[in-house]
Amino acid sequence: MSNTARLREFRLPDVGEGLTEAEILKWYVQPGDPVHDGMVVCEVETAKAAVELPIPYDGVVQEIRFAEGDTVDVGTTIIAVDTEPGAGAPPAPGGGEAAEPAPAAQPGEPGAAAPGDRGPEPAPPKREPVLVGYGVAQSSTRRRPRKPPPGGEAPAASAAIQAELNGRAAAPPAAAAEPAAEVPGARASATAQDAPASVAAGGGRVLAKPPVRKLAKDLGVDLTAVVPTGDGGVITRDDVHAAAAPAPAEPAQTVPAAQPVQTAPAARPAPAAEPAASARETRIPIKGVRKATAQAMVASAFTAPHVTEFVTVDVTRTMKLVRELKEDPDLAGLRINPLLLVAKALLLAIRRNPEVNSAWDEDRQEIVRRHYVNLGIAAATPRGLIVPNIKDAHARSLPELATELAGLVSTAREGKTTPEAMQGGSVTITNVGVFGIDTGTPILNPGEPAILAFGAIRLQPWVHKGKVRPRHVTTLALSFDHRLVDGELGSKVLADVAAVLERPKRLLTWG
């Protein structure tokens, strides 16, 4: 009874709204390491951010189910912990599974079974599962044996497990193929050893998730011919890509083996041509932040009718104010830059034109007027573009806004932005000027009415007080959702931002 409860499985939780999968970035523990409740065991990257996962158990790590870089569905077990490490030998977490449930199966251990205790007739159920995924399995459709050992034959391993479950000793692969047909749910076949590992492990079924099946269909790959490398004989995306890609390795291996061919000048171009052709392209899986950004941009571009307006403005006085604020002892230690004043100017423009701060509710056919501003700042990170936002930015003083901006940028660069920080945005600023770009036509962050692009500040000839003089000039671009924002309203907002940056004392007179 202790063995059935001592091994606890930790499943990948839903760390963000609507997320279905995450990529394991780093493991902080290994099998045999002690863990305690609340201890961070790994870091995963969802479609929105990198998140550290704490484990809710005390004990010793018994098994890690996935390697770094693997993409795991939410709800899948990623690590098993022995909660009673001093109670003798722990249950085997990586054992294979039979086609029907074992009476002594341990909760969370789909492959555990008591050898010799089962006959061909189904065992009567003795316990009922108390949680989803725990307790005795009552279905024969669960996944079968885990990844075959390196160098081993998956069909032979499957046949050996089936023979053991029928009370027989493990036989050589050739002899084990026949008893395999006696197990309920298994398909009798004289050529079981010749089947791919994914088919033999699944009792004649190919084990692959729907996205992987679609990928195989798009690439024209026959899943029954793919050798799986995933846990439990599951075919992964990498397996499909490997099956679809050309295999230059075989010619490269045969050339050294045939020494006369190796020295023949006429035989050299053929092996060398294939690696050169394969090096012309690099395929990168679409996942994580890049996948989420792509989906969000497509949804926004083809849902909200975009309108973009531009204005070029003299920001010489704003640049002078930035220099003065940097020297102010009351702001010592704060990061003062033009983006801070652009953010303050946009918040003031929204306050003067509150109708722009709205959202479109398609389901209820309502316009939602917001009385708060969660100011988003588009940030380029090593994992892709993210848009965290400053909550209740409208109520922040200039020093508070500077502190929040600095913390937001540093957190984003470190890859530690939480999903909560990227939810509920009201309006966004994208600072393309840091890349030397004058302006652009930004796409709306989904659910937001407007986005302001802040271009590079350049010293240019400008007519000032009737004379042409060098002035600091920048170009602003405001994209807005024309369902919510009419041209007049959008123009007023952009004009107000420009007016504040041209004469920053309006922060006082208008505020």
- How far apart are the C-alpha atoms of 50 and 382, rounded to whole Å? 11
Nearest to 426 by CA among 472, 368, 341: 368
The answer to whether the beta carbons of residues 415 and 403 sit under 8 Å apart is: no
Tokens standing for 172?
């050589």
- H or E stretch covering 173: helix 173-176
Length of the chain measured in residues? 511
CA angle 195–198–200, rounded 5-degree value: 50
The answer to whether the beta carbons of residues 192 and 174 sit under 8 Å apart is: no
The residues that bridge with 385 in the sheet, in sequence order, are: 380
What is the amino acid identity at position 230? G
Tokens standing for 89?
């030998």
- How far apart are the C-alpha atoms of 182 and 185, rounded to whole Å? 9
Instruction: Report the Cα 247 to chain-centroid distance in Å.
Output: 29
Torsions phi, psi of 219, nearest 5? -90, -5
Torsions phi, psi of 481, nearest 5? -80, 115
Tokens standing for 116?
């010799």
The residues that bridge with 390 in the sheet, in sequence order, are: 375
Is 394 among the catalytic positions? no
The answer to whether the beta carbons of residues 233 and 145 sit under 8 Å apart is: yes
**Largest Cα–Cα separation, the chain:** 101
Q: If you compute the radius of gyration of the chain from its CA atoms, what whole number of angstroms results?
A: 31
The answer to whether the beta carbons of residues 477 and 437 sit under 8 Å apart is: no
- How far apart are the C-alpha atoms of 487 and 485, rounded to whole Å? 7
The answer to whether the beta carbons of residues 376 and 425 sit under 8 Å apart is: yes
Torsions phi, psi of 294, nearest 5? -60, -45
- H or E stretch covering 277: helix 269-278
Q: Which residues are catalytic?
A: 482
